[in-house]
Amino acid sequence: MRLLVAEDSVPIQKAIVIALQETGYAVDAAANGEDALWMILNHPYDAVVLDVMMPGLDGFSVLKKLREEGNETKILFLTAKDRVEDKVHGLRQGADDYLVKPFDLEELLARVAVLCRRKYGKTQSSITIEDLEIDTVAKRVQRGGRLIDLRAREYNLLEYLAMRKGELVSRSEIEEHIYDDLVSPMSNVVDAAIYVLRKALGEPALIQTKRGQGYVMESKI
């Protein structure tokens, strides 16, 4: 999953970005409202952590402009404003969640995970495909009762494909949602990651290749 952290406080932004990256997310960052708005409108983010009080456009203004453009990206407001009326104002403008500073990073990670699931119409924290079980909270994968050890980025790719079970997912979509802008368009990073993931999951294969189109994760039963 690909996220944006829009926060003007360098220490807070850095802490959030590192925590999300260690969980396996591809993360971009912005330090003002104008940059945040442009990035959200030009990238398919799965969720955005958006500070309310930022230079230039504040978080409320960014959200208002997004919704006016018909952009439905999941937004988690991050703010020092803890008054009920501030929360109500943010939610009425179209925010999906609201977290008050100071906050616990584990809670932020949990809330981001919920928003990412909601983007793909998932309400449960677990995904089952045949004998494969994915716990999206603990980030744990089992197949046939066997625990599968995956690196954070490999897990994130698996979760993304599983969230879109039965759908054709193009190579470019994977690059956009799993990797940041540092990945070269000519790189074979996606092919290599799919190979590693298939090997880790074992047989029968659950990830099918549609040559020249992309990949589909589906049950054969």
Q: How do the pLDDT tens digits run along the chain, 221 residues long? A: 899 999 999 999 999 999 999 888 889 999 999 999 999 999 989 999 999 999 889 999 999 999 999 999 999 999 887 777 777 777 777 889 989 888 999 999 999 999 998 888 887 888 999 999 999 888 899 999 999 999 888 898 999 999 999 999 998 888 888 876 655 555 678 888 899 999 999 988 899 988 888 999 987 65
What is the reported pTM? 0.82
Classify the phi-psi angles of 95: left when phi > 0, otherwise alpha if psi is within -120 to 50, otherwise beta.
Answer: beta
Q: CA 128, CA 152: separation in Å to the nearest integer?
A: 19
pLDDT of residue 220: 64
pLDDT of residue 187: 61
pLDDT of residue 121: 83
**Longest Cα–Cα distance in the chain:** 54
Give ∠ CA 21-24-27 in degrees, rounded to 5: 45
